[in-house]
Amino acid sequence: MMLYALRNVTQRYADRVVLDIDQLEIEEGRIHALLGPNGAGKTTLLNVLGFLEAPTTGAMFFRGQPVEASRAAMLHLRRQVVLVDQHPIMFSTSVRSNIEFGLKIRKMEKAERQRVVDEVLETVGLRQFKLARAHELSGGETQRLALARALALSPRVLLCDEPTASVDAENQAVVSGLLQQINAARGTTIIFTTHDRLQAASLAQHTLVLEGGRLAATTYENSYACIWDSSGNGDLRCTLQGRVEIPSPSPPACQPTGSGRIYIDPEKISLSRIDDQGKSNQGVTGTIVLLMAEGEKIRVVVNIGVLMVVLMDRSSYREKHPLVGETVALRLSADAITLLAAPAP
Amino acid sequence: MSFFLESFSAALRLVGSLDPELLTIVRVSLSVSCIATVFAALIGIPAGFAIAYGQLPGKRILITILNTLLALPTVVIGLFVYTFISRRGIFGPLDLLYTQKAMIIGQFILIVPLIAALTVAAVSRVDERYRKTAKTLGADTWQTALVVVREGRFGIGAAVISAFGRVISEIGISMMLGGNIKGFTRTMTTAMALEYDKGSFTLAVALGLVLMALSLGMNVLFNLVQGRSAR
């Protein structure tokens, strides 16, 4: 079932459009990752999905029903969705009182509240802090308490704004594990934002990418700021992030010059090992920094001055057998590059 | 120096003996100031909260007016209230002049802006994420506002304590509207001024000691409240 459906939704602050989504559907019961650079509109979209802000224009549907912007309707919907902030703030009370807040609002009996508090604290591993002051917890513990506080309300949807961005590696694993556990055990739909493509790939069943407030048809990875330069002999070259120059096999649509943003399809990059003389046949060279199995594909991350992801099928991987630390050559096929943002002169 | 020490030791003996006249003066001071503070808090806190929390048009102008009112001299308030409650004023028939009620009205006017301005400051300092968190956890508008008040409670408490400190030590309003009538409207500050005029320093110093002790108590309380707020 479709949980959310958005049609021509925009969100404006003063004259600035921060969100502009033609069409978006989010399926119920799954984990969705929302990827995008800073300022892409991820948090704004979460606020809209959490019914904390009504969109400026457009139509929104929740479980097939149109969303009304009235205060009462938004409150009713808000009680089915909980947003956990990137830097969650705790009320200046005890851990228990923080969790009880939403339960009291829902007029739950005291005995039942106690049971829920104990259960969610057990889930996030904070039972020993039940009577502690919430402000005395560490950053990682606070993040887990914020999850517990949300979880206590048994929401239909859990929205998490960069849930692991401000915690250490140990707590990152704990929080990621909790999100999977919540989704698997309770069927809660989880939508989280992240900059971490690997986290999105490993945790989410579905990934959305935002670029400049719009949904991008790419996977966010291999998306670079780029400067085009046409040399005298007609060859077109792209300089990625101002650091790495790559040949542009075919100019997107027209012959652009100037700066813009491009996406390089990771499935349309071929990887070859450097020959014994240490020379590549063609293209750019880089060092493999990561190899990871991803479904039927093998994800190879190559450092060519910027990190570039190559997705190989398993047969190709077995044939070429690239190794971490090895220097390899990358070659872009003719239709690998997509123009994301028009070049500025 | 010996004159000061004599007055000081006599004042201490007076305080120690729980002199009835001294106790009456202290009682009048405390009751007038406490009632004025309670009424001012009932109006000033909601007003300050509404200015800080709400999306009112002209919010900055309101804050500027409040801050300006903080500098209003007590004698100006005394004069202002006098014009309304004197025999020729529109509230003259109520016979309020030279009563504790008149003093309470004057002191109320003095500290409402103070409580409102400090409440604005206290509520503005409350992290915006509290409002968002309360909303996402299902709170309605009223419940969200209560969360903001709860998180700003130490700052708001400090505003009330500060206002009490202001009225207990003021003299202009008490003198002009209360008239310094013995056993009725004589407060610590007006009594001290009178005793000074009479050249009788013992009671004046004794009252000064009590006022200082009260001020010290208020400041200790204020610091405790602020300290908790900062944590």
Final residue of a structural domain among A177, A200, A216: A216
Same domain for A182 and A233?
A: no
Task: Give the residue numbers in B contacting A (CB under 8 Å), as ranges.
Answer: 127, 129-130, 132-141, 143, 147, 150-151, 231
Helix locations, A162-274, DSSP H = 169-186, 197-203
Chain A residue numbers with beta carbons less than 8 Å from the beta carbon of B129 are 85, 87-89
Same domain for A21 and A166?
A: yes
CB-based contact A85 B143, cutoff 8 Å: no
Min Cα separation A127/chain B (Å): 21
Same domain for A45 and A175?
A: yes
Min Cα separation A76/chain B (Å): 8
Same domain for A294 and A246?
A: yes
Please state, in angstroms and rounded to a whole number, the distance separating the CA atoms of residues B79 and A277: 100
Residues whose CB falls within 8 Å of the CB of residue A275, separated by 6 or more in sequence, listed in order: A281
Same domain for A196 and A152?
A: yes
Q: How many domains does chain A have?
A: 2
The pLDDT assigned to A105 comes to 95
Query: Could you read off the pLDDT tens digit of each residue along chain A, which spans 345 residues?
Result: 789 999 999 999 888 899 999 999 999 999 999 988 888 899 999 999 999 999 999 999 999 999 998 889 999 999 999 999 999 999 999 999 999 999 999 999 999 999 999 999 999 999 999 999 999 999 889 999 999 999 999 999 999 999 888 778 888 888 889 999 999 999 999 999 988 777 787 888 888 888 888 887 656 678 888 887 776 566 677 888 888 888 765 555 545 567 777 888 888 898 888 764 455 455 788 999 988 887 778 889 999 988 898 989 888 898 888 899 999 988 888 788 877 765 554
The token pair that represents A344 in the structure block: 């500025």
Please state, in angstroms and rounded to a whole number, the distance separating the CA atoms of residues A228 and A208: 28
Chain B residue numbers with beta carbons less than 8 Å from the beta carbon of A81 are 136
Which DSSP helix (H) or strand (E) runs through A151?
A: helix A139-151
Q: Which of B129, B135, B150 sits opposite A78 (nearest CB)?
A: B135
Please state, in angstroms and rounded to a whole number, the distance separating the CA atoms of residues A10 and A2: 20
Chain A residue numbers with beta carbons less than 8 Å from the beta carbon of B134 are 101
Same domain for A118 and A197?
A: yes
What residues 124-143 of chain A have any CB closer than 8 A to a CB of chain B? 135
Which of A37, A2, A29, A15 is closest to A241 using CA atoms? A37
The pLDDT assigned to A342 comes to 57
The token pair that represents A194 in the structure block: 């992240």
The pLDDT assigned to B14 comes to 80
Checking A175-182 for CB contacts under 8 A at 24+ apart, the result is A175/A140, A175/A143, A175/A144, A175/A147, A176/A202, A176/A203, A178/A123, A178/A124, A178/A144, A178/A147, A179/A31, A179/A147, A179/A203, A180/A31, A181/A123, A182/A147, A182/A151, A182/A158
CB-based contact B132 A85, cutoff 8 Å: yes
Please state, in angstroms and rounded to a whole number, the distance separating the CA atoms of residues A182 and A174: 12
CB-based contact A75 B130, cutoff 8 Å: no
Q: Which of A71, A105, A135 sits opposite B137 (nearest CB)?
A: A105
Same domain for A91 and A34?
A: yes
Amino acid symbol at A230: S
Looking from the CA of B46 toward its CB, the CA atoms found within 13 Å total: 6
Please state, in angstroms and rounded to a whole number, the distance separating the CA atoms of residues A199 and B11: 75
* Strand-pair partners of A328: A273, A286
CB-based contact B136 A149, cutoff 8 Å: no
The pLDDT assigned to A232 comes to 59
**Domain ranges (residues) in chain B:** 2-125+133-230
Measured over the CA atoms of residue A308, residue A313, residue A318 and residue A320, the dihedral's sign is negative
pLDDT in tens, B12-64: 888 888 888 889 999 999 999 999 999 999 999 999 999 999 888 888 999 99
DSSP character at residue A133: B
Determine contact: A290 vs chain B, CB below 8 A.
no
The residue range of the domain holding A179 is 2-216
Same domain for A35 and A65?
A: yes
pTM of model > 0.80 = no
Same domain for A278 and A293?
A: yes
> Token match 């990418």: residue?
A209
How many other C-beta atoms lie within 10 A of the C-beta of residue A316? 16
3-state secondary structure of B97: coil
Q: Is B2-125+133-230 a CATH 1.10.3720.10 domain?
A: yes
For residue B143, is pLDDT > 80? Answer: yes
- Taking residues B107-127, report their average pLDDT: 96
Please state, in angstroms and rounded to a whole number, the distance separating the CA atoms of residues A159 and B28: 58
Same domain for A334 and A186?
A: no
Q: Which of B136, B143, B156 to mutate to test the interface with A (most CBs of A within 10 A)?
A: B136
Residue of A nearest to B129 (CA): A89
Same domain for A180 and A266?
A: no
Q: Which of B137, B140, B147 sits opposite A82 (nearest CB)?
A: B137
Same domain for A94 and A128?
A: yes
Please state, in angstroms and rounded to a whole number, the distance separating the CA atoms of residues B175 and B196: 14
Burial of residue A233 (CB within 10 Å: 0-12, 13-18, 19+) is: exposed
